[in-house]
Copies of this chain bind each other. A is one copy, B any other.
């Protein structure tokens, strides 16, 4: 056993993960149906057989087991360095000398191990949460905030290891008068909030700049220290990421597909850093950490996709959406690019924002907002919500009409011209409104392609417009 090329080991683990999931899923399907984890696909021609639900459990458990088994490989060189202190000849030496070697313990990167363990722990808590949701149907308001408990160990590790709570302020703000004034006010409020929190908890959300700003930047950019609010932000990422993925769902292959695409986008972003020779060690570590969690994830997810792609033989369940959303939240938080992650989640964010009027019941929200399946031609059509009062409230009318002007909704009117129905406000329905009826796999493919294109544009944006806006890019520093 020799020290491993990390990417090669990870690819091997992804392969193993793929083999395990594809082997396990058909084997456990029957048992899942027997315990009631099953459902009918409403977008297929009858007779529709019951197929197993919550198959994401298999994926999550496989992934977690792989990540545990990966620990010795990740820390291999440290394990060997440390252990090679004592060899066969030394066995007979005195205990005192052996005791002295204990001081070499500090060679082992315990902080990295704590980071890794907190990530796996957080994923496992999320899997448990998803499983309970699949089994017991937890109420929406209960489950919405639960991911933030799961992410607690993560935030603690972040607190003790990095404490970086500053964000870079775009130069167009610092260079304008109004911008500077606004910034000064925001800084004042944030500092005041932080002092209050410090007095109550005794903790200081300290203000350390990331080391790569110090070591390599010629011009230190203007930083805004968010302090405790940065932790609230990270907690929000861990809530938003799983939930936003969970609502872009309901089409065969879409849940798994969007996450594989997201994984590929993040890997592309990681490789910008990993295959560059001129980046700081900190950035390299961050993006290796990201690849570490994403490559095996793609492996197990491909196994699931094979069974969930149109026509689906299994459903993925909430477990999968929660679990995978958290994989990306973790990578973003511990890899220190949670803001970059957010721009890669743009399709999910747009879908969420677009859904807000229905989610918060500003307009009526039917129990399911899935597109409608037509048994005759086998195509998917947009589904419609019904306006309850005649023509809708004033607010609803304004919103519907505005959206209609931009072609972002399809409305049905009665003979008086009053709105009676509106296409449900999800990206999925919107695509069907714009492109016309599609077969389920074509619909899924369109969304995935859109996401891939958005993601690649965002990578380009991140490394071209980003530096221009912020006055620096952490990728190009070394060569400046």
Q: Are B95 and A220 in contact (CB under 8 A)?
A: yes
Known: A86-B204, A124-B121, A206-B86. A160 touches B91 (CB 8 A): no
Q: Are B209 and A98 in contact (CB under 8 A)?
A: yes
A101 contact set on B, CB distance < 8 A: 206, 208
**With A and B bound together, what is the CA distance between A64 and B111 in angstroms?**
22
Number of copies: 2
Q: Which residue on B lies nearest to A84, using beta carbons?
A: B204
**With A and B bound together, what is the CA distance between A40 and B163 in angstroms?**
53
A214 contact set on B, CB distance < 8 A: 95-96, 99
CB distance from A166 to the nearest CB of B (A): 9
Q: Are A195 and B161 in contact (CB under 8 A)?
A: no
CB distance from A293 to the nearest CB of B (A): 15
Partner of A160, one of B110, B127, B204: B110
Q: Are B79 and A159 in contact (CB under 8 A)?
A: yes
Asked if A6 lies at the interface with its beta carbon under 8 angstroms from chain B, I say no
CB distance from A66 to the nearest CB of B (A): 11
CB distance from A310 to the nearest CB of B (A): 28
Known: A106-B106, A117-B118, A200-B1. A208 touches B75 (CB 8 A): no
**With A and B bound together, what is the CA distance between A213 and B99 in angstroms?**
10
A31 contact set on B, CB distance < 8 A: 136
List A residues 74-120 near B (Cβ within 8 Å). 75-76, 78-80, 82-88, 91, 95-96, 98-99, 101-102, 105-106, 108, 110-111, 113-114, 117-118, 120
Asked if A167 lies at the interface with its beta carbon under 8 angstroms from chain B, I say no
List A residues 222-239 near B (Cβ within 8 Å). 223, 225
Partner of A209, one of B72, B99, B213: B99
Asked if A186 lies at the interface with its beta carbon under 8 angstroms from chain B, I say no
Asked if A350 lies at the interface with its beta carbon under 8 angstroms from chain B, I say no
Asked if A205 lies at the interface with its beta carbon under 8 angstroms from chain B, I say yes
A152 contact set on B, CB distance < 8 A: 68-69, 71
Q: Which residue on B lies nearest to A87, using beta carbons?
A: B204
Partner of A128, one of B80, B128, B149: B128
CB distance from A184 to the nearest CB of B (A): 13
A106 contact set on B, CB distance < 8 A: 106
CB distance from A395 to the nearest CB of B (A): 38
Q: Are B1 and A83 in contact (CB under 8 A)?
A: no
Known: A36-B36, A120-B121. A113 touches B160 (CB 8 A): yes
A195 contact set on B, CB distance < 8 A: 88
Asked if A12 lies at the interface with its beta carbon under 8 angstroms from chain B, I say no
B-binding residues in A (CB < 8 A): 1-2, 28, 31, 35-36, 61, 64-65, 68-69, 71-72, 75-76, 78-80, 82-88, 91, 95-96, 98-99, 101-102, 105-106, 108, 110-111, 113-114, 117-118, 120-121, 124-125, 127-128, 131-132, 135-136, 149, 152-153, 156-157, 159-161, 163, 191, 195, 200-209, 211, 213-214, 220, 223, 225
What are 15 A-B contacts defined by CB distance under 8 Å? A1-B202, A68-B152, A69-B149, A76-B202, A83-B163, A83-B203, A83-B204, A91-B207, A95-B213, A99-B209, A110-B113, A117-B121, A120-B153, A127-B128, A135-B135
